Amino acid sequence: MAGTPGLLLLSILLCAVGQVSPYGAHWKPTWPAYRLPVVLPQSTLNLAKPHFGAEAKLEVSSSCGPQCHKGSPLPTYEEAKQYLSYETLYANGSRTETHVGIYVLRSGEGESSGKSRRKRQIYGYDSRFSIFGKDFLLNYPFSTSVKLSTGCTGTLVAEKHVLTAAHCIHDGKTYVKGTQKLRVGFLKPKFKDGGREANDSSPAVPEKMKFQWIRVKRTHVPKGWIKGNANDIGMDYDYALLELKKPHKRKFMKIGVSPPAKQLPGGRIHFSGYDNDRPGNLVYRFCDVKDETYDLLYQQCDAQPGASGSGVYVRMWKRQQQKWERKIIGIFSGHQWVDMNGSPQDFNVAVRITPLKYAQICYWIKGNYLDCREG
């Protein structure tokens, strides 16, 4: 691992994006290749048990729009280390703070191979689709969407891990009520007459779907969210990872580094969530990306509180495996009023998975940076 810290960070923030494989005349929207940094724990401190007094916020808002973000300086190396340090909360209420180091590997090194306004999140005609029937709800990709007991949505990203928004469990100052006994809900068919789900020849008929809950073992929240408290930088770090007490046994969706908006298929993103205005329903939507900063995607996908924490995904061509693959490239956070040439506009906002965030989240999942070299 090499390099001067200040120059390294510039390489991490900018040059990693420069490793995108050129499209040329290739018609398929292809997952770019990135030279990824490494985010590794350096030290861990025990913290006092937290208070769980915050009210759950099912959406986040900020007045700092694209131009505000684009005008902000990139974090220094030390600031980036501070923001990517993280807090871990365990099921027994204990809490730790982990400080990290950021590195760039040499080629081949270490490789084994504004004003308060009424908030509206529906734009014109409501373009959301409620997903009904177990044939859809239990099939990929919809089956990767899960509900948090605090009211938000999450996405399965590994055998025991769920990606969601940080504000679903922490308000920037303390943990929300219910986080110590946080559960994740999986939609399953509810049968009449005690019918069973698998290979049952009885005349039992699914009456409706119900949630089966699994307790959370621990949560990780970046310090950029806790220190930022949803201000100018806070929204950039509105993500959290939950580790379940047992495997969920469903197909999950891998995370990936967010490509530039112009490289997304049709310039669109997709996500499914449990919007509060449609209780018990999983709601799917897709829409065009309107603007972007290094950390955020601005779009006008119709959404309501409850959908926050949903994994934003796209489907692109994986050149090495010669197949199409969906990946989570962001986390739906909330909305912002943005001043567009003097005219206020309301946007929904997703936090992008940048190379640094990918390295951090992947390490949380895998526990080994060698398994996090491909974004």
Is-contact 63 114, C-beta < 8 A? yes
The secondary structure element, H or E, covering residue 113 is none
Asked if 308 is an active-site residue, the reply is yes
Distance CA 59, CA 174 (A): 16
Structure tokens at 24: 């040329």
CA–CA gap between residue 153 and residue 58 (Å, rounded): 9
308, 310, 333, 335: the catalytic one is: 308
CA 292, 170, 276, 258 torsion-angle sign: positive
Catalytic, 51? Answer: no
Catalytic residue of the set 69, 161, 167, 170:
167
**Which one is catalytic: 126, 232, 288, 371?**
232
Question: One-letter amino acid identity for 234?
Answer: G
Residue with structure tokens 């409850």?
A: 306
Does the annotation mark 232 as catalytic? yes
Helix (H) or strand (E) holding 215: strand 206-222
Decide if 176 contacts 52 (C-beta within 8 A): yes
Contact 312, 269 (CB under 8 A): yes
Tokens read off for 292: 């972007």
Supply φ then ψ for residue 368, to 5 degrees: -150, 115
Q: How many CB atoms lie within 10 A of CB 358?
A: 24
Phi then psi for residue 203, to 5 deg, are -80, 15
**Beta bridge mates, 220:** 88, 241
Structure tokens at 165: 């928004």
Q: Taking the C-alpha atoms of 188, 151, 224 and 52 in order, what is their torsion angle to the nearest 10 degrees?
A: -120
CA dist., res. 96 & res. 90, Å (int): 9
Active site residues: 167, 232, 308
